[in-house]
Structure 1
Amino acid sequence: MLDFPNAKINLGLYITEKRPDGFHNLQSCFYPVRWCDALEVVPAEKLQFGMTGLPVPGNPDSNLCLKAYNLLQQDYNLPPVHLHLHKVIPMGAGLGGGSSDASFTLRLLSQLFELNLPADTLESYARQLGSDCAFFVQNKPVIATERGDVFEQIDLNLSGYTCVVVYPGLHITTAEAYGSIKPQKATCDMPMLLKQDVEVWREVLKNDFEEALFPKYPELPQLKEKLYGSGAAYASMTGSGSAVYGIFKEAPAGLVFPAHYAVWQGLL
């Protein structure tokens, strides 16, 4: 079975408080985008995992796809499979690519072995793999709170808008990003604001990480201003960085970036 785990962007991101467990509570709107990896799962005589595409740092045995398989295997005694991941979504970009790979693994295994696991069960497994993994089970726009794993559905449809996502090759670790943050309450009523026209978001909808990271990495504010200069209705860094995206009413023309930047453009 073959599927295409997609990325997400954050429409606004507020770090509201530090939790007793060391994590942070947040508020954000998660919105799926069509920048995708490729993931294949087929039955095999022994468990195998292979990767192509972008190099993934770390031990392959600790990859989230394997962890997802092991979670379900423990509870459902799954037979071995061959997992193959072709990595396209950049890592350390705030796009949730690894989380998406994990959740799509759960979904594919449920289909392949006819487990017929409902969405809430899959989300429960996904939460054990990472804070935003559960989002990719249903893959619909949500207001995310707590660790990014408690969801409120939101009626938000940006279809017809073009999104340009630019990753400048800066791998910002989660520890570095959160180490610079001073938690505070959200400065806007996000559900109400997201009902307004996209152009209204510019002066109000914020990503808290920008204030901490833009002075350290001048490429990031430069990217944001370039997107606005090319006609973006709204532009922001996504997640804890370092990808920056712009949302356009019409597909922009003539946008050029350095050769080592990774760029995706497509309809939302």
Structure 2
Amino acid sequence: MLDFPNAKINLGLYIISKRPDGFHNLQSCFYPVKWCDALEILPAAEERFDITGLPVPGNPDTNLCLKAYKLLQQDFNLPPVHMHLYKVIPMGAGLGGGSADAAFTLKILNKQFELNLTEDALEEYARQLGSDCAFFIRNKPVIATEKGDVFTPTDLDLSGYTCVVVYPGIHITTAEAYGNAKPEQPTCHMDMLLKQDVKVWRDVLKNDFEDALFPKYPELGQIKEKLYAAGAVYASMTGSGSAVYGLFKEKPAALLFPDHYTLWKGLL
């Protein structure tokens, strides 16, 4: 069975407070985009996991796809499978690609082996794998709170906007991003900010990680300004970086970035 785990962008991200468990409470809007990996899972005589495409750092045995499989295997005695992940979404970019791969593993296994798990049940499994994994079960725009794993549906619809995502090849770990961030209570709830016209988001909707990371990585701020110069109505870093995106109502002008940057463009 083949499926295509997709990325997400953050429309605003507020780091509210440090939690006793070491995580942070946050407030953000998660919005799916169509930049996708490919994940195929087939029955097999013995367990096997392959990764092609972009190189994935670390031990493959600790990959979230395998962890997702093991999670269901222990509860449902799943037979061996051959999983092949073709990696396209950059890592350390704030796009949630690894989380999407894990969530889609759960969804594929649920269908393939007719486990009949509800979306609520799949979300509970996904929360055991990572804070934003559960978002990709339903894969619809939400306001995310607490660790980024408690969701409130939103009727925000950006259909017709073109999204341009620019990844400059800088891998930013979650620990690095949060290590320099300063928690602060937002003055207005995310849902109220998103109800304003997209044209004013530039002045009211922010990603708190930008304050921590732009001074250290000046090219991130330069990408954001370049997207605005090309006609973006809103631009921001996504997640804890380092990808920066722009939303365009009209077809964007030609965008020139260094050859080692990765660009993705598509309709929302």
TM-score by length of 1: 0.99
Tell me if the contact between 2:231 and 2:253 (Cα under 8 Å) persists in the aligned partners. no
1:231 maps to which residue?
A: 231
Corresponding residue for residue 26 of structure 1: 26
Aligned residue in 2 for 1:68: 68
User: How many angstroms apart in 2 are the aligned matches of 1:211 and 1:14?
Assistant: 11
Per-residue CA deviations over 1:196-242 (Å, capped at 9, x if unaligned) read: 21111010101000011101100000000000000000000000000
CA distance in 2, matches of 1:251, 1:84: 35
For the 8 Å contact 2:44–2:81, the answer to whether it is kept is yes
1:55 aligns with 2:55: yes
- Superposition RMSD on alpha carbons, in Å? 0.6
Amino acid at match of 1:224: K
Amino acid at match of 1:241: G
8 Å CA contact 1:188–1:204 kept in 2: the answer is no
Unpaired segments ≥5 residues, structure 1: none
Q: Please report how far the alpha carbon of residue 22 of structure 1 lies from its aligned counterpart in structure 2 after TM superposition.
A: 0.5
Residue deviations 1:96-147, cap 9 Å, x none?
0000000000000000001121000000000000000000000000000000
SS in 1 for 2:157: coil
The number of residue pairs the alignment matches comes to 268
- Is structure 2 residue 242 aligned with structure 1 residue 242? yes
Q: Distance in 1 between matches of 2:154 and 2:247?
A: 18
One-letter amino acid of the structure 1 residue matched with residue 247 of structure 2: I
Match of residue 138 from structure 2:
138
Rounded Cα–Cα distance in structure 1 between residues aligned with 2:132 and 2:6: 13
Corresponding residue of 1:215: 215
Query: By how many angstroms is 1:158 displaced?
Result: 0.4
TM-score by length of 2: 0.99
- Per-residue deviation at 1:186? 1.5
User: d(CA) in 2 for partners of 1:56 and 1:139?
Assistant: 24
Aligned to 2:188: 188
Gaps of 5+ in 2: none
Q: CA deviation at 1:177?
A: 0.6
CA distance in 2, matches of 1:35, 1:187: 32
Cα distance in 2 for partners of 1:247, 1:152 equals: 23
| Contact 1:232/1:246 (8 A) holds in 2 | yes
Which runs of structure 2 are paired with 1:135-214 in the superposition (5 Å)? 135-214=135-214
Contact 1:13 1:207 survives alignment (8 Å): yes
> What's 2:78 paired with?
78
Q: Which residue of 1 aligns with 2:113?
A: 113
Take 1:132 and 1:173, find their aligned partners in 2: how far apart are those partners? 15
3-state SS of paired residue (1:74): helix
Aligned counterparts of 1:251 and 1:141: Cα–Cα separation in 2: 23
CA deviation after TM superposition for structure 1 residue 187, in Å:
3.2
- Which sits farther off after the overlay, 25-34 or 182-191? 182-191
